[in-house]
A and B are shown apart, each in its own frame.
Chain A
């Protein structure tokens, strides 16, 4: 039942978030507008250097994202900031957080990419990237309020609230940001921005969003025009993601068509497909993106699957689930995997 709960919360959250996305998009557009010229598409992990050089001519918009917001105490004067999270709650953060707990692997990656690493004191048991992230046995799925509070954080970032976690922590005077699974790349970039603003790295967050978009677009330009179809397998029960997810959007960059779209009338974005439908649709590419799911050989051995083009052509691609299921900056690596697969198949 709990997985249903997660799915339900995720989809409900996505819908809520879509409502606020219009406003956030306008915000992002204005925030990035001044930086087009000086946003080198560098490796996202050397963010601080980029930021130091970046001029700060675009501070006309929101709560606080002044240019010097970078290292140490420099960002202190930007606070308080107000960040709207996936719950739709306006969270006011009075001071630059110095003791951040991240219960969301995606946001752990974002925090380290925007140079907030010194502020992160603990991350959950699934936050396995980057290596220097201070992994603990805190759980993001079954969060224990006492254990989290015991880290004495001033900001908790989570990907999911199973119940009363946010209320409980807020009752202890701890700021909480809940970021649900995003429904699109744009919302993913919003997350970079919001994470940046919440932690005193507003510029870096915007920069990361811009760089990531640039890199994705650069990759997409190399893509051939072949109209290939694909199936993205999440597990051996044939759960998949449609094109209406951030995962699907990455494939969409390369003009790939998702076979699962017809199956997703309820809009969850993650339907379970009928096996015979997959075989009938005959995808050109099959991406295996489940943690501990089937290997290409096992998929090829499934009854009936030997008639699928992807199997016959050997286009079964294993994708690192810890990359493709997260919408942090490593989404660029996922896009590279997809591009390579498309190149091979074309």
Chain B
């Protein structure tokens, strides 16, 4: 709301009298905000690449990165092992953090738009519970050599099953038109799936720690392979959500108003939910349940840059990526060479932020 208010030239306007209504939003972020977000991302990515448990030296890392560019030959002075640390461990971890952060943040923003609820997050609608159940099944029943492969697959499937159940249940009651019904259905589905997961866990107490480590979220075993798995899903998800940015603005005005304008709200909602759930499910599958990103980031963007989804969605991608890269940098350096669970870091910042969101929620809805 600190951004410039200008009449949106391309926004659907219900009439000339609309200029006094809240529909009037800045549809472009202030250049300074965009610049700041991008600069922030660049800075944390560089910091994340330079700093780590292994001390490679910032200059050596810079030279090594330069030497990675075809045509440039620089001797970084890094040993073969140090090169492996940089290229195969640290860089994929930074990249995975950015990717997961981006998709969680934009999914969170999308959910908040679809449900017109500032507390909606990407794990709503049974995504988290489903993924948790899938991962637990994989850990409990997967045997040694298979477990590593099966966990992400089952987590992904579980997340989609969770959303699917929620949708079917919500629709069975009133059709998908009522956002509240869908959220309540999500609560029921999540409770049910979590009950099964807890039961399995209790029956297999020996794998308790593995399950909980996964649930707390972790980027500790990031690899280029994981990024390859994740990229197609996130690309589709982000693209579809971005294509709906204007319709989300219309939905934000109100269900009835949107329908009056000829927006097929049910269809828009369903499409966006599917896209956001797909991206979230893929992210969860490789990184576990990293909380709060999907709430903190969109709300921060909202507070700083404006309430139009044409501003929030693209900026959330940048800010989400920066936030998670930073959180992971803290997770792996604060107690270095030990790791902190990244969920602890995001929640440490997320929980106080929640209070701020609640205090200002009148402005947000």
How distant is the Cα of A36 from the Cα of B57 in the complex, in angstroms?
Answer: 56
How many residues in B have their beta carbons less than 8 Å from beta carbons of A?
44
Q: Could you tell me if B335 and A277 are in contact, using CB atoms closer than 8 angstroms?
A: no
A275 at the interface (CB under 8 A from B): yes
A253 at the interface (CB under 8 A from B): no
Q: Could you tell me if A303 and B209 are in contact, using CB atoms closer than 8 angstroms?
A: no
Chain A neighbourhood of B213, CB < 8 A: 3, 235, 237, 239, 272
Contact with B along A219-245 (1 / 0, CB 8 A): 000000000000000111111000000
Chain A neighbourhood of B54, CB < 8 A: 274, 276-277, 279-280
Nearest Cβ on chain A to B251's Cβ, whole angstroms: 36
Q: Could you tell me if A294 and B148 are in contact, using CB atoms closer than 8 angstroms?
A: yes
How distant is the Cα of A1 from the Cα of B211 in the complex, in angstroms?
Answer: 10
Q: Could you tell me if B205 and A126 are in contact, using CB atoms closer than 8 angstroms?
A: yes
Point out the residue from A265, A280, A292 that lies within 8 Å of B144, measured CB to CB. Answer: A292
- Among A80-88, A134-142, A174-182, A192-200, the stretch that binds chain B is A134-142
B302 at the interface (CB under 8 A from A): no
Chain B neighbourhood of A217, CB < 8 A: none
- Minimal Cβ-Cβ distance residue in B for A7: B209
Q: Could you tell me if B337 and A274 are in contact, using CB atoms closer than 8 angstroms?
A: yes
A282 at the interface (CB under 8 A from B): yes
- Minimal Cβ-Cβ distance residue in B for A238: B220
Contact with B along A236-279 (1 / 0, CB 8 A): 11110000000000000000000000111110000111111101
Chain A neighbourhood of B148, CB < 8 A: 236, 294, 298
Chain A neighbourhood of B212, CB < 8 A: 1-4
How distant is the Cα of A237 from the Cα of B283 in the complex, in angstroms?
Answer: 17
B92 at the interface (CB under 8 A from A): yes
* Chain B 145-165 residues near chain A, CB threshold 8 A: 145, 147-148
- Minimal Cβ-Cβ distance residue in A for B52: A276
Chain B neighbourhood of A264, CB < 8 A: 338
Point out the residue from A265, A277, A280 that lies within 8 Å of B82, measured CB to CB. Answer: A280
Chain B neighbourhood of A333, CB < 8 A: none
Chain B neighbourhood of A126, CB < 8 A: 205-206
How distant is the Cα of A237 from the Cα of B339 in the complex, in angstroms?
Answer: 10
Chain A neighbourhood of B82, CB < 8 A: 280
A–B pairs, 24, beta carbons within 8 Å: A1-B212, A3-B209, A6-B209, A126-B206, A139-B205, A234-B209, A235-B209, A236-B148, A238-B221, A263-B336, A264-B338, A272-B341, A274-B220, A276-B54, A276-B89, A280-B53, A292-B207, A294-B144, A295-B145, A298-B148, A303-B84, A303-B92, A304-B85, A307-B84
Q: Which residues of A contact B (CB under 8 A)?
A: 1-4, 6, 125-126, 139-142, 234-239, 262-266, 271-277, 279-280, 282, 291-295, 297-298, 302-304, 306-308
Q: Which residues of B contact A (CB under 8 A)?
A: 52-55, 80-82, 84-85, 87-90, 92, 139, 142-145, 147-148, 202, 205-210, 212-214, 218, 220-221, 223-225, 332, 335-339, 341
